[in-house]
Each structure stands twice: as C-alpha cells, then as structure tokens.
Amino acid sequence: MSPSVCLQEMIRVIRGARTQGEERGVIQRECAAIRAQFRQADNGGRSHNLAKLLYVHMLGYPAHFGQMECVRLIASSKYSEKRIGYLGAMMLLDEKQDASLLITNSIKNDLSHSSQHVQSLALCTLACMGSAEMCRDLAPEIERLLKASNSYIKKKAALCAVHIVRKIPELGEMFTPSAHSLLSEKNHGVLHGAVILITELCERNPDNLKQFRKSVPELVQIMKNLVTSGYSPEHNVAGISDPFLQVRILRLLRILGRNNDAASDAMNDLLAQVATNTDSSKTAGSAVLYETVLTIMDIRSESGLRVLAVNILGRFLLNNDRNIRYISMTSLQKIVQTDHTAVQRHRGTIVDCLKDQDASVKRYAPSQRWHIDTILHVLVTAGGDVRDETVPNLIQLITAASELHCYTVHKLYRALISDIVQQSLVQVACWCIGEYGDLLLKGECEEITPMQVTEDDVLDALETVLQSHMSTPTSRGFALTAIMKLSTRITNNVDRIRSVVSIYGSCIDVELQQRAVEYNALFKKYDHMRAAVLERMPVIDRNSSGQTNGDPSVEPMKEFNQPKPVQGVLIQEPANQVCDLLDLLGDSNPPLLVTNDHTSTAPNSTNSTSSNVQDNLLDLLGGLEPTPAPSVTVFEKGGLSLKLQCDQQTETSTTVTFTASNSTQSDITGFNLQAAVPKSVQLQMKAPSGDLIPAQGCGTVTQTVLLSYTNKANLKMRVRLSYSSQGTACQDMVQIDSFPSPAWS
C-alpha cells in the first residue's frame, strides 16, 4: 500500500486541530465516511479506509465497526489488503471477540500460501492474538512449518509454537521432536526460536526436562561457538556475538541444570569460560555476564565457580552505570541468605550505594535496620573473622539509628544469652545493654516479639560474660562498664551492682581492677555525680576509618511522586534545536533531553502543538547536548570585548556573569567594572577574577554580579569599564537594557 494521500491528509488534518473538540469533530466525520465506505461493495480504497480507522483507534477512539472489514480484507487476494487486514485483526480483534474465529480459516489457508510473506503475516497474527480454539485447530499446520526448508518461516513458526504451548500446554508434546531437531540449525534466528520453545516446553512439563537434558552438550557447544568465534557482523552487538541468543541459552541451561548434578557438571567449564572471557564494558556484555551469574547460582555448581560469580557481582557494584549497580544489588541481596561470607567482602561498596540518588538502588541498601541486621548476622556466624574496626563502627551506627535502639538492644540481648563465643558480638551487645538497658527492661518493642526481661536476667547475662573463661579482657571490660552504666538505669538491683564492682576491685587483670576501683569511687565519694557521668552517650562522630560507613541519617530521596498532567505539557527547546535533524547515531549514549522537569502546564493547547512540532522533528537518536546559556556581547571596542551571561534566573533574582576578553597584541591592565542599577533593583558585585586581561585571547577576566528585583521589567544596568590598554588609560560606559534568558527558563 503506497502511502495513501487520503491517509496522510487525514493525519495532517487531525494534527492540525487546535482543540480537543475540533479533533473529535474531525474524527467523527471521518469515521462516518469510513463506515459508509465499508458498506459499499468492493472498492479500491478499502485498505486505505481501514488504515485510517486504525490510526483513529490508536488515538483512543472506538473502532469496533471495523472488525468485519478486517475479516474481509484478510480473505482478499491482494497482499496490500491482506497486510492491513491482519494488522487490523491484531489491533481490533482479540480472543473475546467472536469475529476472531472467522479468520481461522483464512489463517489456515494463508499458512500454506506460496508466498512466504503471506505465510509470515498469518503466523504473526496467530502468535499475537490466537485464542485457544484457533491454536488447537492450527497446531498441526505450525508443526508442519517447523520442518519447512525456509528458515525465515521456521523461526516465526517456532515462536508461534511457543504461543500455542502457552495457551494449551498439552499440545507441547506435538512440538517436542521438532524442537529437538531445530537445535542443529545454523541460522541464529531459528536457534533463538528453538531455544525459547525448548525453554517453554521444559518449564511446563518436567518430563520434557529429562528429555532435553540430553541436549545439554549440544547447547554447550553452541555457546562455545558463540563465545569463541570470530567477529560475526550480523549479530554483533558491541563486540559480543548475538548476546540475545547467549542470554537465552544460559537461561535454558539454568533450567536444565537445576537440581541435577550430571547436567550441572557438563556446563561448569562453559560457565567459567563465559564468565571470564566476556567483555563487560558495554551493556551487552554485562547482560550476558549477569545471566551467567544467575545460572551459576541456581545450578549445582562448584564453590570456585560461585565465588567467581559473586566477584562478578562485586565488580558490577563499582560500575559507573547505575543500571548495573542496581541489578547487582538485587542479586546480592538474594545471595546473602546463602553465601554471606562472600558477600561480606563487598559490604563497603554496598554501603556506598546508600549515597546513591536513585530510590530503586537505595531500596536494596536502604534501611539502617537492614544494615544492622546484616552486620549482626555476620557477627553471629563469623564474628571471629571480622575486622577490629567493626565493633566501634557498628556501635557508632547504632547510636545514630536512634529509633532502632530498642530493637537493636533486644536483638543483641537475645544473641548474648544464646551464645557468648563471638567476642565482637559480645562486646557490641554489652555496650548496647549498658547504654539502652532501660529500653530492654521496658519489654515492649514494636519490631520484635516482646520478651520479658528482668533486671536480674540482664545482670546475670553481663556477669556471665565477666566470669566466662571464653571472654577476652576487652570483652570483660565492656561488660563491667555496662554493668556500671546500668546502675543508673535500673531501680532495684543497685546493690548487686555495687557488690560486683567492689569484688573486681581486687581483680588480677589490671585494666579491670582499675575500672572497678574507679566505679567504686563513683559509688562512694561521687555518688551525686554518678547519674551525670553515666548518662546516655551522644551520637559518636564519625572518625575516618578505613571503611566508610554511609551516612545513616541520610533520608531516602523524596521521589517526585506527582504524576505529570497528561495534557499540554509545555517543553521549551532552545531555539537553535528546532528542525535540527542531527544524525548522531554514532553517539552511543542514548541522549536525555535536558529540559527542566519543573515546567508548568500550558493551559492552551496551541502552545503544546507548536512545541510538539519542534519535538517531532527532532531526530530520535539525535544527541542533545545541553546548550550553554547564551552569552551576549554587550561591549566591543578596540579589541576589548565584554560578554554577559545570565544563570540561575528566578522570578526575582538573576546571577549575571561578565566575561572580558582581549584580542589586542598587548595585555590590558587595571581592568575595573562598575555597575549601576535603578532604585528598584539591588546589586551585589562579587570580586572579579583579576584585573589583567592577557593579550590575544589567552585568558579572560570574569566577574559575577547578583541582582535581585521585584519586577523584572525594570531590570536595567549601566556598566562603566576602566582599564589601561597600550599605555593609555580608558574609560567606557555601556547600557544594558535587556538580559538574555538562560537556555532553560
């Protein structure tokens, strides 16, 4: 169908409509005309009319009366009519419509059509909107096509079969033998379809799993070829051979290797090879690596391979691309349940991600509670191996998380009474109990099932630590101090504390003895100061340790949650980008338009149409560099030129930057700017960058001026320049009446 003048014209008219009402009127007229034409007998313009109707449908208007026309067009013998008919079927018909059944026969005929293009239309439509009945009827045809000699048809048929299997899983058996044989195809498209089909079959039916496990060696071989083969221009994306196919094969291997040692063994080498050889500098490579990692973690792989996988994820965490950091965080979170020691190594980077702006990244290292939980978990299981700074770091983290004190102390207490082997855990627990013992004794805590703890219980726990031969002197010190602190936080057992403290006054350990003696004195001579001395500690300042804990008090970024009103969002592009049909496909970074999202909605749609025109002419892949704010030359004489640039303009203030440059042969010295403004404007001049402007444009002098005013219309400025050039002193005056607006007002 050649681009119909009628269709294009109609689109133009609709787009030219200035208001919603006008548009509706145009469309109603068109629909009426189209309806009339449908009722007529066969005329040459049928496909054009249906195309117009489909466009109208895309705009959101009802178009159900076109359904029968689709059926009729599909049955036509002309390719152009068939094509539009099938498109219409995919857009207007769905399973729920009765009319869809009527096209089953046409599809059946077209599947055996001589032209592959017609066949492909039929396959496409069936795969898109085929209902269960249609699938059942046509499955044998699809199966036959899977064995066709034309690879173009085969790959479409494979995916059509996938759709059928999804609709009617029982029919999967019909496709199993063909799927198997398709694996030996060379054509990537067919392979791709075959792998997807096998994946679908295996997921639906465990029997198929057993059968297809025999294909693992074949799949491994295909992957090897992909990874090691030379440059293949057709399927190459950023240096990786057909990453899409690789990803799908890896996924299939994952399903086949799950819970099966034999299959997992067969893929071990391959996975290691892919993991080490794939170049991850571009997204395509990272996608393949990511899938590899998921596969390694899911099958029965050997531990060396798992460590490799976690390391890859750790590397991703340091990647510049936010997307990659995000997916590695999500995967690490899942892995941390099972393999946390490996993950521990990357804890520092995870915490750094807390600083990330994107809420979805933050979600996975977001809460202090998660943080504390994780570290506690680590301490409980492998506390002996943590670094020394962990204890003070964790303590500092806990003090900062004030709302979690109750929760933390409960958790730690529980950990303490169950086991006191892990010294770092013991130390942190003792410190917390000493600090927050009152919260522990209150017994209620929202986030954890409450447990009645009496003062005696707490003191027992701490004394156990003191007396246990497993405790190091440091831990004992912690425990003793904690007991002492509790003396101000509990009410009944102060005497018990007093006696404990005095006993240790004669302890062999000098450190403990000193502490005990001092605390004793606190009880006896300085009892009046005891409460003040043992007060709650303030939040500890972060000291620069080797590990930077993310600032725990950072609030999660308030996401800009208001949905933008759909109508008439005005985007003002800089004028010099209208009609800019830049081809920047060479620019591999997908460009992001730097328009300010805080634009207000335009009430009238005229503005939106005109700016939409500007939008639309913008080349999709055109890279849009943010243009710098335009600078205006306000003064030029004898080689000295003064430029003015406005930044940061709000309704009542502007920051103006003057840039002076010199194109003469000799330097200009003693350069000085003076400015005067009307009474309604306030002026603040910042210090200039210097007073010497080097010759021949080798350097400039800049000076920033802050202006604030109530009415922008009154904004004027008179500038006096005084300087020495080539031995003579000069003075010039220039009046500035209008200020350029920045590119993004």
Partner 1 sequence: MTCTKIRFILIQNRAGKTRLAKWYMQFDDDEKQKLIEEVHAVVTVRDAKHTNFVEVHSFLLTALACFSLSLFMNFKIIYRRYAGLYFCICVDVTDNNLAYLEGIHNFVEVLNEYFHNVCELDLVFNFYKVYTVVDEMFLAGEIRETSQTKVLKQLLMLQSLE
Q: Which of residues 508-567 bind partner 1 (CB under 8 A)?
A: 559-564, 566-567
Containing H/E element for 257?
A: helix 243-257
Among 71, 171, 271, 327, binds partner 1 (CB under 8 A): 327
**Binding segment for partner 1 among 208-216, 320-328, 381-389, 452-460 (CB under 8 A)?**
320-328
Q: Looking at beta carbons only, is 188 or 371 nearer to partner 1?
A: 188
Which listed range, 208-216, 372-380, 484-492, 609-617, lies at the site for partner 1 (CB under 8 A)?
609-617
Q: Are 728 and 714 in contact (CB under 8 A)?
A: no
Q: How many whole angstroms separate alpha carbon 688 and alpha carbon 158? A: 71
Which listed residue (124, 168, 517, 692) binds partner 1 by CB under 8 A? 124
Residues 6+ apart with CB under 8 A from 371: 351, 365, 397, 552
Cα distance between residue 119 and residue 146, in whole Å: 13
**Candidate segments 323-331, 407-415, 458-466, 672-680, binder of partner 1 by CB under 8 A:** 323-331
479: tokens are 């425990």
Structure tokens at 305: 């391979």
Task: Please select the residue that binds partner 1; options are 508, 532, 620, 687, rule is CB under 8 A.
Answer: 620
| Cβ–Cβ under 8 Å, residues 468 and 444 | no
* Residue 138 tokens, joined: 């046509």
- Measured from the CB atom, the residue of 474 and 612 that comes closer to partner 1 is 612
* Piece of the chain touching partner 1 by CB under 8 A; list 79-87, 97-105, 206-214, 265-273: 79-87
Contact letters for partner 1, residues 2-41 (x by CB under 8 A)? xx----x--x---x--------------------------
Q: Which of 133, 137, 143, 203 binds partner 1 (CB under 8 A)?
A: 203
Amino acid at 146: L
Orientation angle between helical segments 423-442 and 455-467, nearest 10 degrees: 170
Q: What six digits make up the tokens of 411? A: 């958790």
Q: How far apart are CA 554 and CA 659, in angstroms?
A: 39
CB of 311 to partner 1, least distance (A): 18
Smallest distance from partner 1 to CB 283, Å: 5
Nearest distance, CB of residue 642 and partner 1, angstroms:
34
- Binding segment for partner 1 (CB under 8 A), chosen from 149-157, 175-183, 474-482, 543-551, is 149-157
Least separation in angstroms between CB 238 and partner 1: 8
Other C-beta atoms within 10 Å of 366: how many?
Answer: 16
Q: How far apart are CA 224 and CA 201, in angstroms?
A: 24
Question: 609: exposed, middle or buried (C-beta count within 10 Å: 0-12, 13-18, 19+)?
Answer: middle
Residue 131 or 422 with smaller CB distance to partner 1: 131
Residues that contact partner 1, how many (by CB under 8 A): 98
Scanning 30-38, 76-84, 104-112, 332-340 for contacts with partner 1 by CB under 8 A, the matching segment is 76-84
Residue 72 or 530: the one with the smaller Cβ distance to partner 1 is 72
Is position 622 an interface residue for partner 1 (rule: CB under 8 A)? yes
Contact in structure between 572 and 599 (CB atoms under 8 Å): yes
Closest distance of CB 319 from partner 1, Å: 11
Closest CA to 99 of 123, 127, 124, 75: 75
Q: 290: burial class by Cβ within 10 Å (0-12, 13-18, 19+)?
A: buried
Q: Any contact of residue 590 with partner 1 (CB under 8 A)?
A: yes
In three-state secondary structure terms, 355 is helix
Q: Give min distance, CB of 349 to partner 1, in A.
A: 17
Q: Does 740 bind partner 1 (CB under 8 A)?
A: no
Judged by CB under 8 A, which of 139, 222, 275, 324 binds partner 1? 324
Compose the 262-301 pattern: x for residues touching partner 1 by CB under 8 A, - for all others.
---------------------xx-xx--xx--x-------
Enclosing H/E stretch for 254? helix 243-257
User: Nearer Cβ to partner 1, position 193 or 434?
Assistant: 193
**Residue 170 tokens, joined:** 């029982």
Report the residue number, 173 or 460, with the smaller CB distance to partner 1: 173
Is 628 strand, coil or helix? coil
- Measured over the CA atoms of residue 221, residue 226, residue 232 and residue 233, the dihedral's sign is positive
Task: Considering the complex, state which of residue 470 and residue 617 has its C-beta at the smaller distance from partner 1.
Answer: 617
Segment 168-197, which members bind partner 1 (CB under 8 A)? 188-189, 192-193, 196
Q: Which stretch binds partner 1 (CB under 8 A): 22-30, 340-348, 421-429, 591-599?
A: 591-599
Q: Site for partner 1 (CB under 8 A): which residue of 171, 461, 618, 642?
A: 618
First-to-last C-alpha distance (Å) of the chain: 45
* 309 binding partner 1? (CB under 8 A): no
CB 495 within 8 A of CB 455: no
Residues between 419 and 438 that touch partner 1 (CB under 8 A): none
Query: Which one, of 577, 738, 581, lies nearest residue 656 by Cα?
Result: 738
Cβ nearer to partner 1, comparing 125 with 641: 125
Cα of 235 vs its chain's centroid, Å: 27
Question: Can you tell me the distance from the alpha carbon of 330 to that of 90, in angstroms, rounded to the nearest whole number?
Answer: 37
**Dihedral sign for Cα atoms in the order 589, 594, 600, 605:** negative
Q: What is the closest distance, in whole angstroms, from the C-beta atom of residue 621 to partner 1 in the complex?
A: 5
Instruction: Tell which one of 38, 152, 370, 744 touches partner 1 (CB under 8 A).
Output: 152
Distance CA 153, CA 142 (A): 10
Residues 6+ apart with CB under 8 A from 643: 631, 632, 633, 634, 658, 659, 660, 661
Minimum Å distance from CB 589 to partner 1? 11
Residues 44-63 close enough to bind partner 1 by CB under 8 A:
51, 54-55, 58-60
Q: How many CB atoms lie within 10 A of CB 61?
A: 15
| Binding residue (CB under 8 A) for partner 1 from 395, 494, 571, 695 | 571
- Using CB under 8 A as the binding rule, the residues of this chain from 338 to 367 that contact partner 1 are 357-361
| CA gap 289, 416 in Å, rounded | 42
Among 617, 676, 698, 729, binds partner 1 (CB under 8 A): 617
DSSP string, 169-237: GGGHHHHHHHHHHHTT---HHHHHHHHHHHHHHHHH-HHHHHHHHTTHHHHHHHHHHHHHS---TTTEE
CB of 341 to partner 1, least distance (A): 26
Contacts with partner 1, 205-244, as mask; x by CB under 8 A: ----------------------------xxx-x----xxx
Q: Candidates 104-112, 158-166, 637-645, 687-695 — which segment interacts with partner 1 by CB under 8 A?
A: 158-166
Q: Establish if 619 lies at the interface with partner 1 (CB under 8 A).
A: yes
Interface map 437-476 toward partner 1 (x if CB under 8 A): ----------------------------------------
* Burial of 339 (C-beta count, 10 Å sphere; 0-12/13-18/19+): middle
Phi, psi at 732, each rounded to 5°: -135, 155
Name which of 352 and 358 has its Cβ closer to partner 1: 358
* Shortest Å, Cβ 228 to partner 1: 19
